[in-house]
Chain A
Amino acid sequence: MGIIKASKLIYDYIKRDEDGNPDGTRRAVDQVDIDIEAGSFVAILGHNGSGKSTLAKHMNALLLPTEGTIWVSGKDTSLDENLWDVRRTAGMVFQNPDNQIIGTVVEEDVGFGPENIGVPTPEIWKRVEQSLEAVGMTMYRHHSPNKLSGGQKQRVAIAGVMAMRPRCIVLDEPTAMLDPNGRKEVIRTIRELNRAEQITVILITHYMEEVIEADHVYVMDDGRIVMEGTPHEVFARTEELKSYRLDVPQVTELSWQLKKAGLPLSDGILTIDAFVDEIMTLYKKP
């Protein structure tokens, strides 16, 4: 069993009428089975409203399954006694950088998590220093979060999670509100954490460029996992991705269109280099 495993996971939101009485349900996550290997970089793709954020919130026990089970590091999240272990194992970073920073000074925010789980003071300082270093924000430790760029704020949020020494970080659309440079900054940071510290990364996003280097990709639509595989395997099915309101990087799109027009290119080309190689081989062929 991987670090996060879900079996037949179902989550129903309860709709309420104007007086707050329950009035039917809406299924946000529907019969999801996932198994995420420790140390891997996994991406969950899906359009807005596909259920990907709802699924993410189960990994931190912020939401509990209506039916089915999810285990984090072997612990069933629905059991009360596992709650704090689950939250320490799987840290969570959210979309809006402003709404997840509690401290008024960067280092105090990073220390917030360790304070909550009762880490002794000298150890908190050590962890804060290491976490800020890991995300490259040490020089901003005394700054107010309000003065930072979006990308920097997200890195502080990641440091805040790292300071709790999780084995896994779940990032729920961490780049949706950032500009391209901030986006790159955040993706670089989490890739680095994945490589250098063997932290399992679960990245929820709808930006296709961000998943190219993932080990495994899940695509969600209407609460279900509809596609899964390596980025290469998933992007090879360009037409299917489009039917789920998603997109492919321009290079993949271009090769797919050329292929449709009759050029014998391979499926799921993800990089410019691979594309240029194939075109040149074709071009030089007599």
Chain B
Amino acid sequence: MAIECKNISYIYGNGSPQEIRALNHVTLTIPDGQFIGLIGHTGSGKSTLIQHLNGLLKATEGDILYNGESIYAETFSMKSLRSKVGLVFQYPEHQLFETDVFTDVCFGPKNLGLDDEPIRRRAREALDLVGLDASYDDVSPFELSGGQKRRVAIAGVLAMKPEVLILDEPTAGLDPRGRDEILDQVAKLHREQGMTVVLVSHSMEDVARYVDRIIVMNHGNAALDGASKEVFRHYRELEEIGLAAPQVTYIIHALKEQGFPIADDITTIKEAREAILRAMGDKT
């Protein structure tokens, strides 16, 4: 059970003089149950890549397999793919259109052709997952705060019961608390429902805190792909392509340079705190 991208390329404006190669022979596998961070600067191809994973864009070259089946095969149902691979776009609250929260969340399951009862059940479950209780059901989504709107929009995708959840910068524009709330909920989905999650993010701090594996996109290629500690160890290479490591990594390297005994693969505050306290304790 996995999504496999086999040597996919995508060219915008194929054949025209302004053609842009947004993906350049990308091969990667997204196995079940992983929490993946997808990073890369603007224009590196990460948004193009995720739109391939649920078939919104069709690769110019190469093939994508979902659970071993080519999604470009004629017998393959795109509709079922889109329900299995949920994609939450950037600023997803801009896609809300119904007069109340509950009806908006029902839109996805309704499109799947379900009966009324399961539609309502799914909408309720999805809203519970993002922490919005029944008191919000009849509220107009346009009266909610920015963070709440965004949660409604995410619930709209969760109501399709996806196996894989892809979020394109779900915290853009939110304040620190709003950001933590959304990411904690996503982490919970991953932990408790075993959902595969792909998180596109610009914040290395967030990525380091939540994900198991990082894919770094650059010029349409998966430039680095590995466990997050492994990837942040290459922080100089990340800088060369306009990215960075979390601030903690820089703190640790600065300490190490001064002769402080500390492992250089630390990426979170929690690890740093423990390592520093341990080293201080060992000293005496």
Interface residues of A (CB under 8 A from B): 47-49, 149-150, 176-177, 179-182, 206, 208, 245-247, 249-251, 253-254, 257-258, 261, 263, 272-273, 275-276, 279-280, 282-283
Contacts and interface: CB of A to CB of B under 8 A. Distances in A.
A47 B177 contact: yes
A149 B41 CA distance: 12
Contact of B272 (A49, A247, A254, A283): A254
A266 to B, nearest CB: 16
B32 to A, nearest CB: 30
Given A49-B145, A245-B177, 9 more contacts: A176-B173, A206-B175, A245-B176, A250-B246, A254-B251, A254-B269, A254-B276, A258-B277, A276-B258
B279 interface: yes
B260 interface: yes
A43 B32 CA distance: 45
B176 A47 contact: yes
Contact of B247 (A181, A246, A272): A272
A276 B276 CA distance: 11
B59 interface: no
Nearest to B208: A250
Contacts of A47: 175-178
Interface residues of B, number: 36
A217 to B, nearest CB: 15
A222 to B, nearest CB: 14
Contacts of A179: 41-42, 202
A273 B253 CA distance: 11
A55 to B, nearest CB: 16
* Secondary structure of the A contact surface, majority rule: helix
Interface in B139-169: 145-147
14 contacts: A150-B42, A176-B173, A177-B172, A246-B177, A247-B176, A250-B205, A250-B251, A254-B248, A272-B251, A273-B254, A276-B254, A282-B280, A283-B280, A283-B283
B41 A206 contact: no
B42 A261 contact: no
Contact of B147 (A48, A253, A257, A280): A48
A20 to B, nearest CB: 15
A182 B283 CA distance: 43
B174 interface: yes
A263 B280 contact: yes
A150 B42 CA distance: 10
Interface in B262-280: 269, 272-273, 276-277, 279-280
A276 B258 CA distance: 8
Contacts of A150: 42
A180 B244 contact: yes
B242 interface: yes
A229 to B, nearest CB: 19
Contacts of A208: 176
B173 A272 contact: no
A176 B276 CA distance: 33
Interface in B108-135: none
Nearest to A273: B254
A17 to B, nearest CB: 12
Contacts of B235: none
Contacts of B258: 276, 280
A246 B174 CA distance: 11
Contacts of B72: none
A179 B250 CA distance: 20
Contacts of B172: 176-177
A261 B277 contact: yes
A249 B251 CA distance: 12
